Structure 1
């Protein structure tokens, strides 16, 4: 077959948010697709029956759609989207007094069940751990500075609701000037809790001036955040919103705050005990700590309670079915190398009474909500030796059980939802795609009969050869290290011919690689490359000691582990020694910087992306001063530590041709870092090329840029591959002839 063209990215469909209905009979999901004409990714909301009896039905197609959430009765489906304001909402406002008696006026006509089913069959009416972006351009936020643009004419994210029983288009529920961040239904389905920014008049005036090009003025220590831009002082609150009328009441005592507010938000969840749980920081170090506590409050704003003790960063609180307990994901606020754990606390307990039910695993919890099956049992996803997998937890004790062995070692579980005896999983496999499956939860410990609900990239699978995969283990510095190797289908691992090798380094560094469907893998393997993704020390999923090995000493064990892995593949006869290439995004780019300065003859060519190469000059220009403080201290007190953990220190050793890639508004790894690396290499006569994507954050943005990035990297590798004759080589040969 022909190589996968990079333009085939336009045909890629990516699955993000999923939600299982309360009865377990339907699944909602968001899938992003490219619009080549507008050159953007469009997020579509779908519903599919979990018995696989029908194809997914498209509910909507907009530039943004997120957070599908079923009403408690399963008749309505809410989601967040930035759409043009609902005209029916404006009309309904004028009718409020006329319909005050509560009568419901059927605006879309009476429809019986058969009509609804026909429409669903027709299908014509229509989201890591470390914050690192996906290489396939699916990291999400490539929008303009959301704070600066507040008050402009562009639609803001609002909550919309489909009434699946009545049919018709989605109805707008909220109308916040700055949009909605998160929401949840009340237990009776009559109201919603919403988190949203609420500027004062003075703050609104300042934001309007900013939008018109006025100066940025701040006294905040956390003065900017990637994807949000320069921060302001606007407070996020919880609001209770009537699901029909849209009437809104602010809960003045339920407010966000803290340096990580723009990253995590308040994550409200409304429990069956009529209490709303959320996360926030209310201490005195709001811009100088990652701490977030779990709180709860009544919907009338009374009985506010703190459930944690100000020692952790807590996210994703979830109530037990009877509302007597809260489960949440918690991590160390100062040491991100420690595994995140699943904690449970009684709703009425003291704020230091929460207990871990996962500590004995010595594995990190995935960034996903815990799923209560009953009042005593939960499921959650963990990172376990280079694989995301489900684990069953007891709410009363630390007695976790690994489960779902049917997953195997060659695919990842990206999401798990349970409801009414049904399990919904998002499974990703290198050659089978990334799709939704359903099965009977009772069979999770055996061999469940998986019902495939989606086949989002069937055309890609049928048109092109996708890679096969093998896990490899090797010894590095006395430690066993694991990696994932993707190969062309024709490659024989047992009787190999040496192939060119692409070393793709994961970011984080507190992260891990696992076998997944990824467009970039197919692009490279279809061009006869092997792709090696090493799980170096400093990453997660292999336990605390493994993850902490890199803390505060960048450019050490990860360099050893990656370089040793490359040499292992060469010794096995898999990789050609003179055809070794490499790239990495975020910490992957940082590690690539260390590799080309400490192992200057290992790579034939390299492409570090969106990295940091000089810790000292990055301090204060990036958005990560708290993380840097916790990892290295401050540069004026520990200059030697900063110097030792900066690849620019040894830049005089570099000989590898470098393609340096950056985002023009990447505040996680500022573009000035890439410029330093580029100029330092170029100054020494090392062949180098700099590519900066204007307005881009710490991600890969619109389709044209995702394609351009891949074209740049593949061209750079081919240009320096001794076995590839480029157009320049051909021209030179013709001249000599």
Structure 2
């Protein structure tokens, strides 16, 4: 039996992504991401399972990636987004329309027009244009194609009548179409928008995304068969990533999100709106004071629950709000009394007409909260345990579906009756519906980490928590101190909770302890804790990181000569600040970070945030210099591995170059790794594993214990 986690085992994992409960609560659809080594791609398969656990999940898609599983009102129609080979009936129909007889020439022309390359070798469009597809689970068979928009579909929802759908799609004018063709041919980038780029979306253009309404008849899948809702369109700096989030309510109205400000690119506002399916009677429900998302209709369709946050203070908790479907409605938070932010593992859901359920970030944990519209919110599911956290959530038909994960358990799907949420001391999920990685886990049963939440004092005497992962055979009380990696979360509006991470399991299987501090600014300890970071950079977070490692050294867990530090995004920013303050780390790896906020302004996609928190750099130059680790780069003596994505518009690669050259000029051992054509996150399986190997090799190269043959991390 294999007891370790080797790098190749990454390719055998399936990681849960989304869960969606059918309207009657009897089935759950879910997606799970896995690796395709031959194509060096991640693919996401679609599964369905009965929520009573009576049989194992059935896999519906294999060849192409599927996302956004959405149930029809009948509970047997299951729609999803995918970039698949064009439906054969549609291809034949186009040929018949052309000359009455399909032939190879017609098929080739259709393939070129649809971007399929003519062979459909892996079942996906080569240009990656997703469309809406749907399975009929009562009849069986393959999915049928419901849309055929030239530029693809971004989002969709099904109507309560079961006969229509609403989609969000780009609709360029003739002039804009010409520009898009020019760009495809390598022409110049021309931008007139203030929000000139977005990470993951690249350089932005002026093409507007609209909502369209059409039927579920596959023969009417072309855009010409859909009606455009001219008053339902995307705008604002958030729209390229947040989308319009259409939600079709039980009374027939459609909710969506957009920015209605006069200068939307210079605003953080994102409002909830509703509109009739014929495009009439648009109502702006919220008042421009919040950044809203995930609108969800109440069972009778007279109210909406949504996620709302203060866009002028990103450190305030996101809260669950409820508003009537009225223009300029009076809306109220139903979760404010908890002083906890909504987690990203699921949108607000209605338990009944008077109760909303949301996942919340609660210290080093993600759990559910039950929020009555008229009453006090409360935490739920006491049996969930602090060793498991919620990675995905949905609720429908009195059934709750959760993706639960632990340090030694990749996420799986669990179900529990919604009735338990109505109890003051609700128990928690006990019915497991999926076993996505049981074989993988059995082969590594003795090599997966143990985990605990450790409390310690920082330099200011405040209590901070860190999630600490230990090698499976590590005895805190008896073993010699171990080499220890401090892995810092990004955000900073984020937090760490015990959960499965491949890089952590890989490191612990090689003898490392891995510590993940929830430094000041983390969002799961209430507004005051999160907001303590407001207007600052570097000092508070680095103190909390250094104090965590000092605590683990004092407790005999961490070897003081074999400490390492890394972090991604804001974790990279913090890593750089840490090594300007201390030489305690044998090596460090700031990944995809910002190190000079002054020179960075306007080169990333976060200028609105930086303006809100720090003002304009030409007006507050001293502040921008002070919050930048590059200002104190002369104090760095720690060997640095510095990484970046070549097309990262969140933390541009020029930042990594600047830090790299600055430390190399001082004779510090350093290495720069740039991932070509990569955005802020690491994309392909090969690059994901390369990143882990690069970090591990950097730490081991500078580990005196490896050189001396000490126990602990392997070479």
Asked if these proteins are the same fold (TM beyond 0.5), I'd say yes
Distance between the aligned counterparts of 2:66 and 2:626, measured in 1?
A: 44
Distance 1:425 1:647 in 2: 40
How far the C-alpha of 1:62 sits from its partner, in A, is: 3.9
1:172-222 Cα shifts (integer Å, max 9, x gaps) = 111111111111111111000111110001001001001101001111111
Structure 1 position 395 matched with structure 2 position 385? no
Q: Write the mapping of 1:249-264 to structure 2, written as runs, cut at 5 A.
A: 249-264=227-242
On the 8 A contact 1:43/1:64 being kept in 2, the answer is yes
Q: Which residue of 2 aligns with 1:107?
A: none
Aligned pair 1:421/2:398, yes or no? Answer: yes
Please point out which of 152, 160, 167 is paired with 1:194: 167
1:379 match = 357
Map residues 54-453 of structure 1 onto 2, 5 A cutoff.
Answer: 54-91=55-92, 154-244=127-217, 245-246=220-221, 247-348=225-326, 350-367=327-344, 368-397=346-375, 399-444=376-421, 445-448=425-428, 450-453=430-433
Aligned residues: 669
Report the equivalent of 2:707. 725
State the partner residue of 2:482.
499
1:420 CA drift (Å): 2.3
Contact 2:409 2:499 in 1 (8 A): no
5+ long unaligned stretches in structure 1: 97-151, 728-737
Tell me which moved more, 290-299 or 238-247.
238-247
Aligned to 2:122: none
Secondary structure in 2 matching 1:323:
coil
In 2: Cα distance, 1:503 partner to 1:313 partner: 33
Q: Deviations over 1:500-525 (max 9, x none)?
A: 00000000001000000111111000
Residues 187, 270 of structure 1: 8 Å contact kept: yes
CA distance in 1, matches of 2:489, 2:363: 15
Equivalent residue number for residue 121 of structure 2: none
Matched residue, 1:546: 529
Take 1:317 and 1:706, find their aligned partners in 2: how far apart are those partners? 33
| SS state at 1:30 partner | strand
SS of 1:365's partner is coil
Question: Which residue pairs with 1:526 in the alignment?
Answer: 509
**Aligned equivalents of 2:506, 2:328: Cα separation in 1:** 51
Instruction: Calculate the TM-score normalised by the size of structure 1.
Output: 0.89
- Could you say if the C-alpha distance between residues 625 and 33 of structure 1 is closer, same or farther in structure 2, counting changes exceeding 3 Å? same
Q: In the TM superposition, what is the alpha-carbon distance from 1:442 to its structure 2 partner? A: 2.1
- Matches for 1:4-19 after TM superposition, within 5 Å: 4-19=5-20
Give how far 1:408 is off. Answer: 0.8
* 2:120 alignment partner in structure 1: none
**Distance across 1 between alignment mates of 2:419 and 2:192:** 55
Cα shift readout 1:445-490 (whole Å, capped 9, x = no counterpart): 4434611111212233112211010110011112110010000111
What's the counterpart of residue 458 of structure 1?
438
Instruction: Decide whether the 8 Å contact of 2:493 with 2:522 is kept in 1.
Output: yes
TM-score w.r.t. the length of structure 2 is 0.92
CA–CA distance in structure 2, aligned partners of residues 352 and 269 of structure 1: 18
TM-aligned CA deviation for residue 396 of structure 1: 2.7
Structure 2, gaps ≥5 residues long: 98-124, 710-715
State the distance in 2 between where 1:326 and 1:88 align: 39
Q: How does 1:642-681 map to 2 (within 5 A)?
A: 642-681=624-663
Q: CA deviation at 1:495?
A: 3.4
Secondary structure of the residue aligned to 2:497 is coil
Query: CA 1:475 to 1:415, structure 2 compared with 1: closer, same or farther past 3 Å?
Result: same
1:489 paired residue number: 472
Q: Could you tell me whether the CA contact under 8 Å between 1:611 and 1:673 is conserved in 2?
A: yes
CA contact (8 A) 2:338 2:378 kept: no
- Structure with the bigger RCO (C-alpha within 8 Å, sep 6+) is 1
Change (3 A) 1:156 1:726: farther
1: CA distance, partners of 2:128 / 2:546: 48
2:561 pairs with one of 578, 593, 603: 578
Please say if residues 380 and 427 of structure 2, whose CA atoms lie closer than 8 Å, have aligned partners that are also in contact: no
Verify the 8 A CA contact 1:43 1:62 in the aligned structure 2: no
CA RMSD of aligned residues (A): 1.6
Equivalent position of 2:26 in the other structure = 25
Contact 2:305-2:321 at 8 Å conserved across structures: yes
Give the corresponding residue for 1:471. Answer: 453
